[in-house]
A and B are shown apart, each in its own frame.
Chain A
């Protein structure tokens, strides 16, 4: 351990640490710019220079590099140091006068204007990009070239690098944003940015990310398919940064087994992908987006902070097309129920943002059935938003027109648009079949989960203790989903609040003396209520079928399947039924 003092405060730290680390450990902040916790210190920006008194010998050194020494007295904010730092910032501002980041930095240091000759650079030569490429990505695509005023940072021979993976690490650490612009100068390979799923691919995300702002728990996850550590055993930057040491690369997915009393299935829906419906030109023209994408675009927490733009321009002519992927006799025949209203809402929002824009909605029937919906629809119509009706069978085609598109709808004049929003419908989740099999519940013809009875038991399934809520059962809006979920919750409470459960009286039982353990009944039981068990009988070990009384619904399928007549239903043995028949006959 090494003892030193920083701003008069005694501190003891491990040998080999730097003054910066020692200062940070006792909460003393020293400004830095080219320092990065996961990279070797380089000392380019000189912002972290401090005054060091070593046995009366006053020195000025970068605290990010200078190792702690016994007995040194460090001052981080002397007048001379502060003056120097200010000049450093002034020099950076003179070098990169246009860089917003440097302007911000200058403001922090109280530098309003630089007194030095302004240049036209965007790189301050801090070397972070070269260091992360070399030290963390294990590549070394770029490094410094030349010296003095000619210094620059480039790939060897200033030509496209063959080893660059266009991973973008350099851009991610660039303090002025210069690297982002030059990524294409580094390599001929196309950068393959990781697109944010939450933002519908409209924004990029890191390989380690918090899935969406309101995620619970709010904990980052690592995308193993993109993470350089998992792909190439390099990087590990995140683990160096995490002070809680919470990043464990050897963590595996776990299966947690829970004993539970009931299940509410609320697995939601997938959004219809209109790519296959080529008539809409989705995926072909950047001007054509889905309703969901529009939601991200218009969201204040979205990639553009709520600013609607297409190809960097604000749209002026916007067309909404309804019933995309819904009410299609050859596809999803059902009505997705939410699209009419969300389209009305989106049109209303655009009108709010761009009062002079041209807004057109192609609809077939507007289904404004909820509370206040019709009123809202009327209001939107009054906002100079044109609703054009078309039959579902009428053709519609979106074709390119310069930088925009033209919507050609049968029976209507062509409309030039710079943004087309498709009111895509709701479809069952891709994995709903699999989930249905696992839970032993049923799917209806449209692929959504089937309720036990559309009117009398709308949240139940045919399996006791499993309930449905939301769009996994059928497309619905938020109020309906909340209502159904509340109902499901109360149905669950109904089960969980009882001390004892009442079971069916007419359940099956096995006459073990007759059972030959053929297993037909096990396969036949729709409720997985029968299993084969091993028993001791008359000194012999033998297998027999046994009914789980809590699961048996008394449907009688097993009794019918049993070849040996070993299974019967309580209260409905052959003898009892015959006796009943006889009694009827006598009366």
Chain B
């Protein structure tokens, strides 16, 4: 096969993909990643299919991944040839049916459109595809101007929400596999590594180890067998960027791994994906099959003599499996206990062979780096943190979802510009970054640039990119307790320091929230936290006390209030709050009286009621049921 013919294959796929992606008939793509399906996209898809069939429309109905704005799911886009792409969100079955009917009748339901895309751009080949313009839609914001997306730069998520994840053609149409093609034909392995090194890409799984350096270490190992592993054991509660990539753009991972395999000299690839991601697994299986079909995986890839196979291994559901040595143990069928490094996996990993493990998001960044060059990539971000990072923005914030932003963007921009500010206009209290082992940063950190080093200086971590926004109603001690409760259960349990230390910390926090702690417990908690960090083996133990330490650093007053005044300022900790009825507001309607499971509420009809605090279990049912805001919670002032 000559190079020309080889290239022809990609060209062919690409043009076919273009035809599918931008067909000459209307196309509807529904976001059907897990977040979409959870919001009801599956039903919507059925409804639309039926509606289109009933109306005898020759339209293409397809699925796509998550575009990131999970809050407005179910979401779809409608694309009429020669016109802009139009996005409709917050769909219900009724709304979807109505929409199709309207669209079929030529009414685009302008009020429902969230944003439009007139020119679609691929980050890989910089090609702009002009979709069309509609002068009537001047008031509808462009995708790139829409507040949620305006400050985002999508590299890892480049295709999520734009292509059908089941279609290799569409992936190739947006420049997919061209980076691999470039690598295998034009670059030597050390040149690839050099390029990745120069790009400044750091591991997106949490630790932030320079990817190029990792590859180089593994490539220098002299071994006929080397393994490439994609770590898709995404475990942080609330973080789901990896899932989104796997579900929305599985080929980007395969291409990243192919490039890595070529650079490192490996013929065996494994995607370790958690079993709780069935859709991701299905998409990956399908993608691997397709890539094999086109000779992009398997033996003698594109007739270059390069062999590479990828298989999928399902993780069995422990948070700690995401730690690379534990992941290897899991692959080998051993209990998932992390082990000491050295030896590093790059030297002795899976089955004792050199192994390179990178996180999903890291792999997804590889093709754009190769395509656009390291200079382009390293021009993004800060001095020590290059490129972009995907964050899952959740909590008490207006816009929740996945956001991909250049490193160095301030927390303020993420929270207010992208996130749209705090829900119900409450006061911003803190932001928790980095998942359960991250830290809580207070209001004065709001201008902190988000990069590896600034976050770690502030006592938190980048982690895998979880961001939980907290408002004034969040009790900081309760929050620290929540995260510690998670890590103490997910610790593998090997290290005495981590297993017993986290449990002891949890106990102290528990006593604080119950008002049973003493002020000296704070020193003990801090002392213990530092020792856990020093004395534990793996990243889990070495970071698990972060929520405690950062909250002690920034919110010590709140701890002290719990201990000395027996008061929970956020009115969350059950043992320290009291429910009372405001007599002036209570109408004596009796709803609370009826609903109270403990019969703690007494009172005559049409007269103010009263809560017996001895009986009250602080379940909050009265608060939720009262239509007159007559129930108040107080803490520490009884």
Contact = CB atoms under 8 A, between A and B. Distances in A.
B340 A62 contact: yes
Nearest to A87: B531
Contacts of A83: 527, 531
Contacts of B534: 49, 60, 80, 84
Interface string A71-114: 00000000010011001100110110000000000000000000
A87 B342 contact: no
Name the prevailing secondary structure of the B interface residues. helix
B555 interface: no
Given A115-B524, A144-B335, A151 B495 contact: no
Contact of B490 (A43, A66, A84, A147): A147
A6 interface: no
Contacts of A150: 489, 493
Interface in B152-170: none
B336 A46 contact: no
A55 interface: no
Nearest to B537: A43
Given A147-B320, A148-B489, A125 B537 contact: no
A87 B528 contact: yes
Interface in B466-497: 488-497
A72 B491 CA distance: 30
A84 B501 CA distance: 11
A264 interface: no
B291 interface: no
Interface string B483-525: 0000011111111110111111001000000000000000010
Contacts of A49: 534-535
Nearest to B503: A149
Interface in A115-157: 115-117, 124-125, 127, 143-144, 146-151
Nearest to A124: B496
A147 B500 contact: no
Contact of A148 (B342, B496, B499, B528): B499
B495 A43 contact: yes
A84 B531 contact: yes
Contacts of A61: 340, 537
A143 B335 contact: yes
Contacts of A67: 342-343
Contacts of A143: 335
Contacts of A45: 496
A187 interface: no
Contacts of A44: 494-496
A151 B343 CA distance: 26
B337 interface: yes
A580 to B, nearest CB: 98
A331 B488 CA distance: 72
A62 B536 CA distance: 9
A91 B495 contact: no
Interface string B261-285: 0000000000000000000000000
Interface string B361-397: 0000000000000000000000000000000000000
A147 B493 contact: yes
Contacts of B500: 91-92, 94-95, 116
B318 interface: yes
Contacts of B496: 44-46, 88, 91-92, 124-125
Interface in B311-329: 318, 320
A401 B79 CA distance: 97
A68 to B, nearest CB: 10
A476 B546 CA distance: 79
B451 to A, nearest CB: 21
B319 to A, nearest CB: 9
A150 B337 CA distance: 14
Nearest to A33: B496
A364 interface: no
Contacts of A124: 496
Nearest to B534: A60
A42 interface: yes
Contact of A66 (B340, B488, B497): B340
B493 A148 contact: yes
Contacts of A149: 488-489, 491, 493, 499, 503
A115 B508 CA distance: 10
Interface string B519-550: 00000100110010011110000000000000
Contacts of B493: 125, 144, 146-151
B499 A125 contact: yes
Nearest to B320: A147
Contacts of A80: 534
Contacts of B488: 148-149
Given A43-B494, A144-B335, A146-B493, A151 B535 contact: no
A529 to B, nearest CB: 73
A124 B500 CA distance: 10
A530 B80 CA distance: 126
B492 A148 contact: yes
Nearest to B487: A148
A432 interface: no
A91 B489 contact: no
A151 B488 CA distance: 11
A83 B320 CA distance: 27
A299 interface: no
A116 B495 CA distance: 17
A65 interface: yes
B336 A147 contact: yes
A66 B339 CA distance: 11
Interface string B331-348: 000011100101100000
A144 B497 contact: no
A87 B501 contact: yes
B535 A148 contact: no
B535 A84 contact: yes
Nearest to B489: A148
Contacts of B340: 43, 61-62, 65-66
A80 B531 CA distance: 8
A406 B507 CA distance: 57
Nearest to A130: B335
B495 A117 contact: no
Contacts of A87: 497, 501, 527-528, 531, 535
A309 to B, nearest CB: 37
A88 B497 contact: yes
A275 to B, nearest CB: 49
Given A46-B495, A148-B499, A62 B537 contact: yes
A117 B342 CA distance: 35
B151 to A, nearest CB: 36
A283 to B, nearest CB: 47
Nearest to A143: B335
A84 B504 CA distance: 14
A268 B318 CA distance: 67
A567 B502 CA distance: 99
A583 to B, nearest CB: 103
Given A88-B497, A124-B496, A60 B336 contact: no
A95 B504 CA distance: 10
B337 A144 contact: yes
Contacts of A95: 500
A92 B504 CA distance: 11
13 contacts: A61-B340, A67-B342, A80-B534, A84-B534, A88-B531, A91-B501, A91-B504, A92-B496, A116-B504, A125-B493, A144-B494, A148-B493, A148-B502
Shortest Cβ-Cβ A-B pairs, 10 listed: A151-B493, A91-B500, A116-B504, A65-B340, A60-B534, A148-B489, A148-B491, A117-B507, A84-B531, A87-B531
Interface of A: 42-46, 49, 60-62, 65-67, 69, 80, 83-84, 87-88, 91-92, 94-95, 115-117, 124-125, 127, 143-144, 146-151
Interface of B: 318, 320, 335-337, 340, 342-343, 488-497, 499-504, 507, 524, 527-528, 531, 534-537
Given A144-B335, A148-B488, A149-B491, 4 more contacts: A116-B504, A147-B492, A148-B490, A149-B489
